Structure 1
Amino acid sequence: MKTSKGEAVYYDANARGSCSLTFGHDAAVLSAPNAVYNQIQACGQCLEITGSEGTQVVMVADRCNDCPPDRLVINKPAFVKIAGTKAGKAEVTWKPVPCAVQGNLELRFKKTSSIHWTSIQVRNHRVPVKSVAFKKGDAWVEMTRSDDNYFTAAKGVGSQSVTLRITGADGQTVEETVAKWKDGETYKGTAQFK
């Protein structure tokens, strides 16, 4: 994978971010500039970042709309491992890598989802999620990705039981079925990207 070069600064991550992923204040997460965010279908993508003090794998959890295209904004605990404690800004290199997640994919049904309007977020994935489709009869219906990292069926999936086809940025596909879903709940899947 291509290695990029730029600068990093740190921030105190607020446990949510625009990707709607939850994480602790000491998590290895970052806010990516639009140029990086859009290029790698960023939410949940991991980047291996190297600086003067070491290398750390950090997950994209937010978008930095005001950042220059070569600036990563890294949560402070991860930044310290990459660039030390004295620097407020550091030269770094980075490249996309698979995330070292444990277990299978997870499917989060957005609060207020119903059979008439359904919004699902794929979590705990090794590679970025490119698309999600649901099965309707013999056909697959593509869902629309929203800015908050959920995939939405504006007319709903039509049933409390749904089969999803999840496609990774590298072309891998995984099918998952949730027999009886409920809004606001997260379900553990049966598979993971390789």
Structure 2
Amino acid sequence: MTTKLAVVDGSYGRSYGHNKHRWYTSPSTSYTPSTSYTPSTSDMPSASDTPSASYTPWTSDAPYTDTPSTSDIPSTSDVVPSTSYSSSSSSAWQLAHATFYGDETASETMGGACGYGNLHDSGYGFETAALSTVMFNNGKACGACYEIKCVESKWCFANAPSIKITATNLCPPNWYQASDAGGWCNPPRSHFDLSKPMFMKIAEWTAGIVPVNYRKVSCGRQGGIRFQFQGNPYWLLVVVLNVGGDGDVSEMWVKGAQTDWISMSRNWGASFQAFSKLGGQPLSFKLQNAVGETVYAYNVCPTYWSTGQTYEANTNFIN
């Protein structure tokens, strides 16, 4: 049973100062080098724990006996079919700036601080961006969706439509350069480091940096939330993918057929972990987004689940 609760243009020039973990002592004269961040190997599970790119939607291989208690179930007036979606009102427009990293193939955007891996396999494609330190908020913005449009610059394409991106990466600060002269992602700036294909939809790429208006919007995902299992039977590490609604996950819990709800901590990016013996039992998850909306995903995986697999729930946040 699944239930749901009610989620510059000329004055800034064309120079950039950060490229992954390399820092430039003088501005570039062209476009933004990559600001993508990849967690160190010490942050990652071992190679044997790395999931495959494929996912396994699971229905049932045995009756599921974990009947939720009445305290877990919202009132009937709150029950929403998992296949229905509704439009979500967008937030107010705010001012920021945008650069880009990588080339037209967007290959340098793969991976990143949110832990989504190959973004094409994960369903995000190249419609993505790395967020500045403040916006990334220690990974809490992973999966969030934004609408962006180029404004007040001669480099903006006339009548260009706005673009919609998903936050998949961190644009790290560059303390060697001022925030208005190369350190575009330094606190407290709001900044988007777009994939180059997305930047080229709103502005001439030779501009390097442009002012933009942005607002948070509904992601409009199709299908259910996906849970990519890593770790082992005593330490469960889950990457959460394809989250609808606002797209972010602020809190997460797991429940086995033999346990109560266990609070999971954020490991990094969109990964949550639980240090508990959870092997040999079907698992359910409870997720809460930044605006307090909660989704229950019961019976997500079979009794004998395994790491290296991705399981799809039959529910999602309302879009």
Asked whether the two chains share a fold, i.e. TM above 0.5, the reply is: yes
Residue 72 of structure 1 aligns with which residue? Answer: 192
Q: Which amino acid aligns with 2:144?
A: Q
CA distance in 2, matches of 1:146, 1:40: 9
Q: Determine if contact 1:26/1:75 at 8 Å carries over to the other structure.
A: no
- 1:188 and 2:312 matched: yes
CA distance in 1, matches of 2:205, 2:241: 31
1:40 to partner: Cα distance: 8.5
Summarize the alignment of residues 42-61 of structure 1 with structure 2, pairs less than 5 Å apart.
42-51=141-150, 52-53=156-157, 54=160, 55-61=162-168
1:138 to partner: Cα distance: 6.6
Residue 241 of structure 2 aligns with which residue? Answer: 123
CA RMSD of aligned residues (A): 2.1
Residue 75 of structure 2 aligns with which residue? Answer: none
Pick the structure with greater CA Rg: 2
CA distance in 2, matches of 1:148, 1:168: 14
Which stretch of the first structure deviates more once superposed, 28-37 or 153-162? Answer: 153-162
Counterpart selection for 2:302 from 157, 171, 179: 179
CA displacement 1:128-162 (0-9 Å, x = unmatched)? 11111012557321100122321100234354421
Q: Which is bigger in relative contact order (C-alpha 8 A, separation at least 6)?
A: 2
Q: Which amino acid aligns with 1:58?
A: I
- 1:20 and 2:128 matched: no
SS of 2:223's equivalent in the other structure is: coil
CA distance in 2, matches of 1:104, 1:65: 31
1:42 to partner: Cα distance: 0.9
Residue 270 of structure 2 aligns with which residue? Answer: 149
Q: Which amino acid aligns with 1:145?
A: R
Q: Which amino acid aligns with 1:17?
A: G
SS of 1:129's equivalent in the other structure is: coil
SS of 1:145's equivalent in the other structure is: strand
Count of aligned pairs: 192
1:15 to partner: Cα distance: 1.1
Return the TM-score normalized by structure 2: 0.56
SS of 2:207's equivalent in the other structure is: coil
Which protein has the bigger helix share?
2
Counterpart selection for 1:133 from 253, 259, 265: 253
Structure 1 pair 156/42, CA: closer, same or farther in 2 (3 Å)?
farther
SS of 2:228's equivalent in the other structure is: strand
Q: Which amino acid aligns with 2:302?
A: A
CA distance in 2, matches of 1:44, 1:5: 20
Q: Which amino acid aligns with 1:193?
A: F
Q: Determine if contact 1:26/1:77 at 8 Å carries over to the other structure.
A: no
CA displacement 1:4-50 (0-9 Å, x = unmatched)? 21211111233111111131496111000111111992111111011
- 1:29 and 2:128 matched: yes
Counterpart selection for 2:285 from 164, 177, 186: 164
- Percentage of pairs with the same residue: 25
Q: Determine if contact 1:160/1:182 at 8 Å carries over to the other structure.
A: no
Return the TM-score normalized by structure 1: 0.89
CA displacement 1:84-135 (0-9 Å, x = unmatched)? 334211110111111122111111102xx22210011211012211111012
Structure 1 pair 119/156, CA: closer, same or farther in 2 (3 Å)?
farther
Q: Which amino acid aligns with 1:191?
A: T
SS of 1:92's equivalent in the other structure is: strand
Residue 9 of structure 1 aligns with which residue? Answer: 99
